[in-house]
Structure 1
């Protein structure tokens, strides 16, 4: 199936590993050129070189902290300088939290707000005018099932991901007149390097069977009884970027193996 993504330009945040890298790879396989965004320059540039070599696309790394206005500005400057703008924006950068509301101070709330919400706001503000001039575009937000079904141990993550979901919906109504489609994806259990790292830490003193721990998490939460792979999730992102999803506007899609307990 031809997704019509050849020679499109995609900006992907959190792109050096896990879901972001899988989405970038999926887009590259369809012929899209890439601006890969993350903080660690060496790992980012290695990923860009590997994707360029494997798929014959242009891929550049933009090492930046997009939780800051200056970091966003650096990404916008590179995107304009290298490609003249972008057709696709994947707001994927983010990380889990671990706190209680009573104990977390303002700075912790501000950090996650800047990373999960303001980065998406600033990147949209910077890239939408160029998308409009190019005839349209696609913006996708990687939120979480926690936006609607919160986990008790990460209240800040829950709140900021819910805000990202609402930002996605609100932005979609503002820019569809310019042929820019905005949607949100809410993943469930996806087997990222962070999950593996956490599982190894939690089982270090009890025998180290981290795989059994992850299986227990899947058994408890997902009727499919397994974690999804980043590649499975990336396939959905690629579809939403394509003209095959041309009537998908302002929606939130759950890719969660049945984890969501409500309609």
Structure 2
């Protein structure tokens, strides 16, 4: 297990992550396979306005256990000191040899700057966010408890990852065409497509600039790629 280090995180954030982990363990006990911090807080990019992205895997979660966890970790029960919490719970079994769309058990969001949402139906959310979260962070996650993410989550096929990149870029075009993440998301995705390397969005933009291309060119290239058919797994 990678020892958890919270270097650079505020004291209240470190305390919150410890308490969040303890509450997950209180529900699932030794069936908790791993709890992981991902996103900016895991690789030194946490700043004011950042979310905390946490994912967990447990063995055979029941509906009643998931409902209990929601009661214990929603923002009213456990106040998030960051802009928000984005939390996803998985049954360990779906992560061993993952396919798309991923059948997560709980997707919970909330916080002082985030609208609260709770879902236990994986068909209600855009599939690509969950694939990208796990694909991008394989080497950038921090274990808050249990096994390292790379030892629990299998590799998605290259085709699934490319489909996720393409569908995410098209989603941005449809929903937030002027958003700051659109070009950066395309640059990061194109870097993976051409080099096989994932990284942060700023790293993707830096790589793209080194190739002499612009975010607009990356968008054109990625948007032309096939996405995921609703009834197939690439």
* TM-score, reference length from structure 2: 0.33
Q: Larger % of helix: which?
A: 1
* TM-score, reference length from structure 1: 0.30
